[in-house]
Structure 1
Amino acid sequence: MSVVKETYSFETEAKQILDMMIYSVYSNKDVFLRELISNASDALDKLHLQSLTDPDLAEVAGDPFIRIVRDQQDRNLSISDNGIGMTKDEIIAYIGTIAKSGTREFLERLKERREGDPAEMLIGQFGVGFYSAFMVADRVTLLTRKAGEEKGWRWESSGDGTYTLEEADRPTCGTTVTLKLKEADPENGLKDYTSQWVIQDIVRSYSDFVSYPIKMQVEKPKAEESGTVLEDQTLNSMKALWMKPEDQVSEEEYRQFYRHVAHDWKDPLERIVFTTEGMSQMHGLLFIPSQAPYDLFMRDGTSGVNLYVKRILIMEDCKDIVPSYLRFIRGVVDSEDLSLNVSREILQQDRQVRAIKKGVTRKVLQSLKKILSDDRDRYLTFWREFGTVLKEGLAQDDGNGDAIKKLCLFSSTAGQDLTTLEEYISRMKADQEDIHYITGPSVEILRNSPHLEALLEAGEEVLLLADPVDEIWVQGARFGEKSFKSASQGASEPKEEPEEDGTSLLSFIKETLKDTVKDVKISSRLKSSPACIVGDEDDMTPQMERIMKAMGKDVPEVKRILEINLSHQVLKKMTSLMEEDKGSLIPFCHVLYGQALLAEGGALKDPAAFSRHLSSVMEKALC
């Protein structure tokens, strides 16, 4: 009886996907092997699960394996498994027809894909991995036999919009996918996929942790004579350390794994191993490095967390599952239920990814909290390397602001040691209502700021915030019942009205500096300095102005308020000169403003003019 070969046409959307796979240019064509190995692993999983309840299949199953066979002469590559296999109807349903709810969105995402977006992530998301074989092959043949059935089937297509299907013999259950490879073309990303070194490298990169052995015949030198011999070799380690309890993994295995994923030869500062159950089941093995990577603040820097689904690498450096303020984290997250089927809506994918991100963030913040509580010195090491990055989380509204505030360390006027907000509050005076802070270019400049004089005299502590991100998160911030109040924002009110000559000096300075400052006021915050510059509570701070300009933003000039200390000897001398030689006070006014600007770490707008005014003041003083 002759075997009838039937010809079928791909459905319209399946044909569109084939065309895109064949003719679109992808930066990484290696993913085809990852997808075919992943399909084989899934088939072995399904056979194992069904054999648990079906005694007949248990006898069929045998030892599971995935085998790769290279044929360099005919340029063939095959991937075989002894898994569940497929029936004729399943072949047609799975391969010939993929008109599911997610297919149209997959096509739209491919068409709208921006330059540089990872196309391989789209392949993984929408379950069209089998079609990726046509990126590297002129013809694909699939030979399969369903476990528990006698009949097998051969499917074949050259990607021209049609495929053939016929009955065929296969001695055991499982599936073999054979690719008639295109000629190697390195310029267009086509490697020689019959090379054992290429295959070994791809398996190590993408499928090293697949739980079934991936076997291949490899060439090895003969022991006592020239030439080579073929030996069977398992290409993958099958050591998914994140799936094992910690007490079953040695410290050396963890160190080696960290070096593998982080490319860092220093030991990590902390290891985070976790498993979550419930709505989103996942396993994670994360590390906090002991030293910041060189690209930590680069726009295109790596986040270093790889996303796996059932031990198959889906995406390296997956920024979607780690917030940017935790981009220093390295390691692996493996989701058990992140769907890669084309039938899943993209909205559902996003929801699952958000759940993973939320879980990962919570675990990392919990680990940091424990280090801070149990080992302050080790936490200080972390903070010196990554504190500025973690504080970026205070400016992001992702619901973790309160937890991050508890993890932050700050310089303060209480001493040289860094402090937490909880420690600051424990030292607050009984009648102190707010958390005092001041922002500026450096802790050293802030520590000597004239803005702090009254607060320090009153015994109140001030946080010294010198990181650029501090300007963003501290505005309107609260910690528990306490609000944050700037020591350099909001004009102070003098405790008593100045005498008439003081009022005259105030008016004169205001007139002299009318093009430079918004107002001149008598200060109650100054004790030992002659003057300082402050802003209204809603004004942009000088630090924020510098940040905006560095970002290339057009920033309108913000005039600020000059506060003067009438009890200071300089101001007393200026007051006495009001009647003697008022005109000579003009350079004094400009120098007074310039030194107040320099005291807060500001930059002189016209250094040459300041130098002339300073020379005039010196000449006056020395005459």
Structure 2
Amino acid sequence: MPTETLEFQVEARQLLQLMIHSVYSNKDVFLRELVSNASDALDKLRLEKLRDDAPDADVSDLHIEIDVDGDARTLTVRDNGIGMSYDEVGQLIGTIANSGTAKFLEELREAKDAAGEEGLIGQFGVGFYSGFMVADEVTLVTRRAGEGHGTRWTSRGEDTYTLEPVDDAPQGTSVTLHLKPADPENQLHDYAAPWKIREIIKRYSDFITWPIRMMPESSAAAGEGDEAPGPETLNSMKALWARSRDEVSDDEYHELYKHIGHDWRDPLETIRLQAEGTFEYQALLFLPAHAPHDLFTRDFRRGVQLYVKRVFIMDDCEALLPPYLRFVKGVVDAADLSLNVSREILQQDRHIEMMRRRLTKKVLSTVKDMMTKDQDRYATFWREFGTAVKEGLVTDPENRDTVLDLASFASTHHDTEPTTLKAYVERMKDGQDDIYYLTGESRQGIENSPHMEAFRDRGIEVLLLTDAVDEVWADAVGEYEGKTLRSVAKGQIDLDAKDDDSADGEREKQTEEYAGLLGWMTEQLDEDIKEVRLSSRLTVSPACVVSDAGELTPALENMYRAMGQEVPRAKRILELNPGHQLVKGLNEAYKEREDRTSLTETAELLHGLAVLAEGGQPKDPSRFVRLMADRLERAL
């Protein structure tokens, strides 16, 4: 097969240019990423060998090797892991097969500090390209385990790269960086210096479970007849989760997290768990400080790493934590599982289920501790991951009460500080039986909703829920500590005192006064609404639309339809404000038997205004605009 010269994917080309012209303060990121890639390749080969998927592969001495040539200014990171085929090199290196590429590029350009920039490199899974921060040219030679021929990939980071087959490639992958000229004024970043390589590996990759070897400097100068010293192992290879807390520093934990989570930021919290008895396992989990960009996408890779007796089994083991904790990273090392356990087996294993339950409770209890002991850290966690955690209110009934206790929500009690349900209940007014909430797309939109008017006038606190999941969990949960969760946009709302006889008498009088109009409007708007009635929740607006107590809101209907579930569109209820001059005038016009066509159009406009006020759209926008323009013209 002849040498091919191919063009980079557009996104890959843009990314390369950002790397080449990088101004990162810490370019050490490139070596950490290449070592992590090599470690992953070794893990994959050992796993395939255990499952007998790579019977011809050599696993007798799996390791990572680093070669430095100061004279030629080259640095090579080599592994004897799974390797890649010719097609895989083209697919994985020539393009960026990542749905978040555009988002990555945008965030990379907008990163305001060095830590933010570095964090983006690993987070988006494009660590290989970071080699171009320190190299003018990169050469990759690889052979997939079990195959007879290898592949060479070469690029100077411009518009193209070359691919060619090679016959003598060893098993695994080697990446050779042709380093940029040394900077005499910055010797601390000379990546052709062995001492610099030792420093980077010790700082960032000491915990890697495979030996990272480098030939000592003296080996190149060994004379004839001298015995060349053997390679130097740069890392300790100690599993941090198997060591006592006193033996491990926070920095070491943080570096393990960065390796596992492909994140250059420190984790927000480190969680250790050791279970002994009939089923033994150790867990080292991390809560990130920032939500990944693709947390709510279908392609998000969730789950923690699973080991059995310190042997890597699989990445992203989804069975160990529920989906709403998908952002948690870490390692679980079990003593009593089979080495060739599959994902299908894990879903049925009772030990895995037991681990999942305990790990879930440990993560939630850790968040709850943060809530009581460190409000700032809790606030960071909830801002980044609260939307995901609230999914557990629907999907995890066993831990629903715990999630409710640690959740916080925006409310009318404070402009910026969220509240817990417990604090809300403590502030409830005398005689108040319900916890009131309203869902919407934004806080401003909710606060301006006509449904809020009576609550604002009476100083009754309302939770302001703006996440899509809020539409679902509030109905599913139903109550908290005996208090009903109640939407201010559903059902009848009566905020008057229960023993207020004068209020009851006034309502009866109004109902009788407007009975004719309400019945007539119900008939006229029959296609769109099920009932027209007087409202006790409006003080300023003329009308609003509400859902019946047991029905889906329009937002929830749309959500189900977006997921491919067809649901019938429920008719809603139109409520009128009997104290508003427009409603009063409409009632007088109805009693005086004025032009019914004009009255019908006014009723349509009133309904359309109510729909618009809650962020919806009239059924026939063009007709609504035409009627409104006609009325404005007459008014002038």
TM range (shorter): 0.5 to 0.7
SS in 2 for 1:435: strand
Task: Name the aligned partner's letter for residue 632 of structure 2.
Answer: M
Please report the TM-score for the alignment, with normalisation by the length of structure 1: 0.65
Query: Once the 2 structures are TM-superposed, how far is the Cα of residue 422 of structure 1 from its aligned partner?
Result: 0.6
Aligned to 2:554: 542
Query: Is structure 2 residue 46 aligned with structure 1 residue 33?
Result: yes
Query: Is structure 2 residue 632 aligned with structure 1 residue 618?
Result: yes
Which whole-Å CA distance do the structure 2 matches of 1:292 and 1:275 have between them?
27
SS in 2 for 1:474: helix
Query: Is structure 2 residue 525 aligned with structure 1 residue 513?
Result: yes
- Kept after mapping to 2: 8 A contact 1:219/1:229: no
Deviations 1:177-217 (A, max 9, x none): xxx965246799x995545859xxxxx9xx99698x86989
Aligned to 2:141: none
Task: Name the aligned partner's letter for residue 620 of structure 1.
Answer: R
Indicate how the Cα distance of structure 1 residues 480 and 192 shifts in structure 2: closer, same or farther if over 3 A, else same: farther
SS in 2 for 1:468: coil
1:20-419 alignment runs, 5 A limit = 31-34=44-47, 67=61, 183-184=148-149, 194=171, 197=174, 222-224=219-221, 231-234=230-233, 237-340=236-339, 346=345, 350-416=349-415, 417-419=417-419
Query: Once the 2 structures are TM-superposed, how far is the Cα of residue 353 of structure 1 from its aligned partner?
Result: 1.1
- Kept after mapping to 2: 8 A contact 1:339/1:349: no
Query: Once the 2 structures are TM-superposed, how far is the Cα of residue 567 of structure 1 from its aligned partner?
Result: 1.3
- Kept after mapping to 2: 8 A contact 1:280/1:355: no
Q: Percent identity?
A: 43
Which whole-Å CA distance do the structure 2 matches of 1:78 and 1:557 have between them?
60
Query: Once the 2 structures are TM-superposed, how far is the Cα of residue 29 of structure 1 from its aligned partner?
Result: 9.8
Query: Once the 2 structures are TM-superposed, how far is the Cα of residue 243 of structure 1 from its aligned partner?
Result: 1.5
1:369-518 alignment runs, 5 A limit = 369-416=368-415, 417-477=417-477, 478-492=479-493, 495-498=507-510, 502-518=514-530
Which whole-Å CA distance do the structure 1 matches of 2:629 and 2:558 have between them?
29
- Kept after mapping to 1: 8 A contact 2:529/2:573: yes
Aligned to 2:72: none
Query: Once the 2 structures are TM-superposed, how far is the Cα of residue 292 of structure 1 from its aligned partner?
Result: 0.9
Query: Once the 2 structures are TM-superposed, how far is the Cα of residue 596 of structure 1 from its aligned partner?
Result: 0.9
- Kept after mapping to 1: 8 A contact 2:269/2:287: yes
Query: Once the 2 structures are TM-superposed, how far is the Cα of residue 409 of structure 1 from its aligned partner?
Result: 0.9
**Bigger CA radius of gyration:** 1
Indicate how the Cα distance of structure 1 residues 209 and 340 shifts in structure 2: closer, same or farther if over 3 A, else same: farther
Indicate how the Cα distance of structure 1 residues 222 and 208 shifts in structure 2: closer, same or farther if over 3 A, else same: closer
Query: Once the 2 structures are TM-superposed, how far is the Cα of residue 354 of structure 1 from its aligned partner?
Result: 0.9
Q: Which moved more, 1:476-485 or 1:538-547?
A: 476-485
- Kept after mapping to 1: 8 A contact 2:219/2:229: no
- Kept after mapping to 2: 8 A contact 1:275/1:284: yes
Which whole-Å CA distance do the structure 1 matches of 2:612 and 2:237 have between them?
62
SS in 2 for 1:616: helix
Aligned to 2:570: 558
Query: Once the 2 structures are TM-superposed, how far is the Cα of residue 504 of structure 1 from its aligned partner?
Result: 2.7
Query: Once the 2 structures are TM-superposed, how far is the Cα of residue 267 of structure 1 from its aligned partner?
Result: 1.7
Query: Once the 2 structures are TM-superposed, how far is the Cα of residue 620 of structure 1 from its aligned partner?
Result: 3.3
Task: Name the aligned partner's letter for residue 482 of structure 1.
Answer: K
Query: Once the 2 structures are TM-superposed, how far is the Cα of residue 324 of structure 1 from its aligned partner?
Result: 0.7
Query: Once the 2 structures are TM-superposed, how far is the Cα of residue 68 of structure 1 from its aligned partner?
Result: 5.9
Task: Name the aligned partner's letter for residue 407 of structure 1.
Answer: L
Indicate how the Cα distance of structure 1 residues 430 and 301 shifts in structure 2: closer, same or farther if over 3 A, else same: same
Task: Name the aligned partner's letter for residue 515 of structure 1.
Answer: E
- Kept after mapping to 1: 8 A contact 2:491/2:547: yes
Which whole-Å CA distance do the structure 2 matches of 1:329 and 1:577 have between them?
63
SS in 1 for 2:422: helix
- Kept after mapping to 1: 8 A contact 2:533/2:573: yes
Indicate how the Cα distance of structure 1 residues 571 and 214 shifts in structure 2: closer, same or farther if over 3 A, else same: closer
Deviations 1:24-70 (A, max 9, x none): xxx9997453576999xxxxxxxxxxxxxxxxxxxxxxxxxx85699
Indicate how the Cα distance of structure 1 residues 591 and 191 shifts in structure 2: closer, same or farther if over 3 A, else same: farther
Query: Once the 2 structures are TM-superposed, how far is the Cα of residue 443 of structure 1 from its aligned partner?
Result: 2.3
SS in 2 for 1:441: coil
Deviations 1:450-487 (A, max 9, x none): 22333333432221222111122211522222221221
Aligned to 1:43: none
Measured on the aligned residues, the alpha-carbon RMSD in Å equals 3.9
- Kept after mapping to 1: 8 A contact 2:268/2:286: yes
Aligned to 1:571: 583
SS in 1 for 2:571: coil
SS in 2 for 1:518: strand
Deviations 1:469-522 (A, max 9, x none): 112221152222222122111135783243765223223322332222111111
SS in 2 for 1:570: helix
- Kept after mapping to 2: 8 A contact 1:410/1:463: yes
SS in 1 for 2:316: coil
Aligned to 1:586: 600
SS in 1 for 2:388: helix
SS in 2 for 1:400: helix
Which whole-Å CA distance do the structure 1 matches of 2:259 and 2:43 have between them?
20
Query: Once the 2 structures are TM-superposed, how far is the Cα of residue 427 of structure 1 from its aligned partner?
Result: 0.6
Query: Once the 2 structures are TM-superposed, how far is the Cα of residue 583 of structure 1 from its aligned partner?
Result: 3.4
Query: Once the 2 structures are TM-superposed, how far is the Cα of residue 523 of structure 1 from its aligned partner?
Result: 1.4
Indicate how the Cα distance of structure 1 residues 296 and 501 shifts in structure 2: closer, same or farther if over 3 A, else same: same
Indicate how the Cα distance of structure 1 residues 393 and 486 shifts in structure 2: closer, same or farther if over 3 A, else same: same
Residue segments in structure 1 that go unaligned for 5+ positions in a row: 1-26, 40-65, 71-76, 80-179, 199-203
Aligned to 2:17: none
Indicate how the Cα distance of structure 1 residues 514 and 34 shifts in structure 2: closer, same or farther if over 3 A, else same: closer
Aligned to 1:57: none
Please report the TM-score for the alignment, with normalisation by the length of structure 2: 0.64
- Kept after mapping to 1: 8 A contact 2:474/2:485: yes
Which whole-Å CA distance do the structure 2 matches of 1:575 and 1:327 have between them?
56
Indicate how the Cα distance of structure 1 residues 340 and 588 shifts in structure 2: closer, same or farther if over 3 A, else same: same
Aligned length: 454
- Kept after mapping to 2: 8 A contact 1:411/1:465: yes
Which whole-Å CA distance do the structure 1 matches of 2:236 and 2:409 have between them?
45
- Kept after mapping to 2: 8 A contact 1:338/1:349: no
- Kept after mapping to 2: 8 A contact 1:295/1:301: yes
